[in-house]
Amino acid sequence: MYILKIEGKVKIPDYVQIRDEQFTLLAYFRADRPEGALAKIGLGDKEEQIKHIIAELPYGKIQKLEL
């Protein structure tokens, strides 16, 4: 899987995309509220680890998500 953080502007918050190996979009959620989206794709148990990754992730850079 891959993860990408998108920078928001003014009133639009930062968003995160999680994509599979074929770059199909699996989840798209606000960076500050990943709970529901992660549970939906089966990563609810790795929420704290993913929050830490999101905090350190630079904007606009695709990174391989290895959990």
Per-residue pLDDT tens over the stretch 8-23: 998 999 999 999 999 9
Total-model pTM:
0.87
Rounded CA-CA distance 41/34 in Å is 11
Looking at the predicted structure, is the pLDDT value of residue 67 above 90?
A: no
Looking at the predicted structure, is the pLDDT value of residue 66 above 90?
A: no
* Cα torsion angle, 29, 33, 38, 41, sign: negative
Q: Which residue has the higher pLDDT, 39 or 67?
A: 39
Rounded CA-CA distance 45/43 in Å is 5
Q: For 27-49, how does the pLDDT look when each residue is reduced to its tens digit (9 = 90+)?
A: 999 999 998 999 999 999 999 99
Alpha carbon 34 to chain centroid, angstroms? 7
